[in-house]
Amino acid sequence: MDPERLGRPSRRGATAALEAHIAVLRGEPLKAALANALREANGLGGQERRFTAMAVRELSRHQRLLDLAARLLGHTMGKVGLTEDQALVRYALWRRIFCGEGWTRIGPEVRLPGPVRPRTIKDDLLQRVVELPLPEAPMPESHAEKLATRYSFPNWLVLRLAQVYPEDVLEGLLAALDEEPSLHFRARPPGTRDAVLAALKEEGVNAEAVAAAPDAVRVTDSSHRVFETRVMKSGRLQVQDVGSQLISEMCRPAAGSMEGFTVADICAGAGGKTLALADFVGPKGKVVAGDRSRRRLAEARERVRHFSLRQVAFPHPLPLSDADVLLVDAPCSGTGSLAREPDQKWKLTAQEVARYQATQTELLDEVSRQAKPGALIVYATCSVMPEEDEAVVEAFLAKHPDFTLEPVEDVLGAERAALAAQGPYLKALPPKVPGGGFFAARLRRTGPGPG
């Protein structure tokens, strides 16, 4: 693992990471658990905080593989009594297998007293976990289960994905979702990416253009100096995944610009796409944004204020019948975002995916009833599950003959569609499109609107 990305290991950083992982194992979302652990570990330096954050994500990301290693060494997790003990064994194995460290480095981070209490395992057991030769693991017979083991995913999820993705696509997707994601940005205003890259270079930050999206930028060093640059502080960069940028782009017309459009961002969340849409419509356009989560919508309001975007409003209820474009970035399983939220793959179930599908279908039906003639509905998810993506759209079209599916190639062009489209749909899958996995469909109302 790249030491610069890892940060600086320390006993206090390890303690915070272990406390956060224990909270995750008890059901707390990783982001919240990490935030709480960092707050309680007051006084950690920046590099120690980076290490803590990386360690927490890695312990969930590689959980299956770490547990397999523990089992091969005679420490089946079901027999390791306390949650604190399980966390300690996983941490020691992660430092050994993924960081390449020995007991000389790992011991000071985990030795008694502490770093977490209560615990029943002693230092000599952890030392054996680190120093004993690791036996070769017997691999499952099926290719899908081999991939599930190698990349630490639940069997049911990989077996489902194996039904729809070719082997090479599936392995690339799982490998990408099993890695710490790179940091991507959107250059602002649209169309100024070259100038932004040149300005970053002048400030000593290494960055490059991403081919899949016209304004996407990837920072290629891991120092995080980009956040201290004049470019960032002047509002020329917005943190945004490449696939998320592509969803915003799906709201644009096949020809011409969105200047002066009215756009409804119906599931705005924290407002990442709201900002992009505001840039697209310009000062003469309008973006109305809403979300069921008051906390996330408050964050969106703050981001809009930060960027001084006067063309964005947050009315309730949203005036959907006035909108030229309606973005439905639907609640979903988040399977395309597992690199950023690796704890979710151990919490998700097939039953929960089915519940999301029902919610998505209801939401799309509800929005369609208010779309005016000629309006464009963009249905999107950050899921790679076909039942949340193509299946929802196909069922919707079967019930709504007054809507037509428009091919996303009309917006992307042939070259970028080869990277990020599958048939008429946006299907942004890593590693071809860096970052997370995203889906979108363009649904045009060609029949009468709401009566």
**In this predicted model, what pLDDT tens digit does every residue of 62-104 receive, in sequence order?**
999 999 999 999 887 666 678 999 999 999 999 999 999 999 9
pLDDT in tens, 220-267: 877 778 999 999 999 999 999 999 999 999 999 988 899 999 999 999
Residues 197, 344, single domain; the answer is no
201 with 323, same domain?
A: no
SS3 (DSSP) at 207: strand
pLDDT tens digits for 392-412? 999 999 999 999 999 999 999
Number of structural domains, the chain? 4
Distance CA 189, CA 93 (A): 46
Reported as a single tens digit per residue, the pLDDT across 47-62 is: 999 999 999 999 999 9
167 with 307, same domain: the answer is: no
Residue 246 lies in a domain: no
Alpha carbons 56 and 346: distance in angstroms, whole number: 14
Beta bridge partners of 441: 379
Quote the pLDDT of residue 450: 57
pLDDT band at 141 (very low <50, low <70, confident <90, very high): confident
pLDDT digits (tens, 9 = 90+) for 94-132: 999 999 999 999 999 999 988 888 888 899 999 999 999
**Share of residues in the chain with pLDDT > 90 (%):** 87
CATH number of the domain bearing residue 320: 3.40.50.150
Please check whether residues 328 and 424 belong to one and the same domain.
yes
Residues 225 and 332 in one domain: no
Strand partners, 390: none
Per-residue pLDDT tens digits for 147-176: 999 999 999 999 999 999 999 999 999 999
The residue out of 97, 131, 165 marking a domain boundary is 131
Q: Is 329 annotated as a binding residue?
A: yes
Mean pLDDT throughout 204-223? 91
pTM of the model as a whole: 0.94
**Cβ-contact 319, 287 below 8 angstroms:** no
pLDDT at 333 over 90: yes
pLDDT of 76: 75
Rounded to a whole number of angstroms, the distance between the first and last alpha carbons of the chain is 60
Tell me which residue range forms the domain holding 207.
Answer: 188-239
- Catalytic amino acids? 382
Residues 304 and 394 in one domain: yes
| Same domain for 117 and 155 | no
Task: Answer yes or no: is 450 within a domain.
Answer: no
- DSSP string covering 16-56, please? HHHHHHHHHHTT--HHHHHHHHHHHSTT--HHHHHHHHHHH
The closest of 401, 348, 433, 353 to 154, measured between CA atoms, is 348
Report DSSP letters for 342-403, one per residue. GGGGGT--HHHHHHHHHHHHHHHHHHHTTPPTT-EEEEEES---TTTTHHHHHHHHHH-TTE
Mean pLDDT score across all residues of the chain: 94
pLDDT value for 77: 67
pLDDT at 255: 85
The percent of residues above 70 in pLDDT, for the chain, comes to 97
Give the torsion sign (CA, 172, 175, 177, 182).
negative
pLDDT at 78: 65
| Residue 90 DSSP SS3 | helix
Which tens digit of pLDDT belongs to each residue from 343-359?
Answer: 999 999 999 999 999 99
Q: Is residue 245 part of a domain?
A: no
Question: Which tokens hold the place of 378?
Answer: 């963009």
Is residue 183 within 8 Å of 175, Cβ to Cβ? no
Percent helix / strand / coil, the chain, rounded to 5: 50, 10, 40
Q: Examine the domain organization and report whether 203 and 126 are in the same domain.
A: no
Q: Is residue 183 part of a domain?
A: no
**CATH classification at residue 204:** 3.30.70
Are 202 and 299 part of one and the same domain? no
Same domain, 147 and 264: no
What is the reported pLDDT for 138? 83
| Shared-domain flag, residues 121 and 22 | yes
Residue 39 located in a structural domain: yes
Same domain, 288 and 369: yes
Is residue 261, in this structure, part of any structural domain at all? yes
Q: How far apart are CA 77 and CA 67, in angstroms?
A: 7
For 441, the enclosing helix (H) or strand (E) is strand 438-445
Pairing of strands 262-265, 286-289: parallel
Neighbouring-strand partners of residue 185: 217, 239
| CATH code at position 38 | 1.10.940
Q: Is residue 392 part of a domain?
A: yes
Residue 150, in any domain of the structure? yes
Q: Which residues pair with 404 in a beta bridge?
A: 444
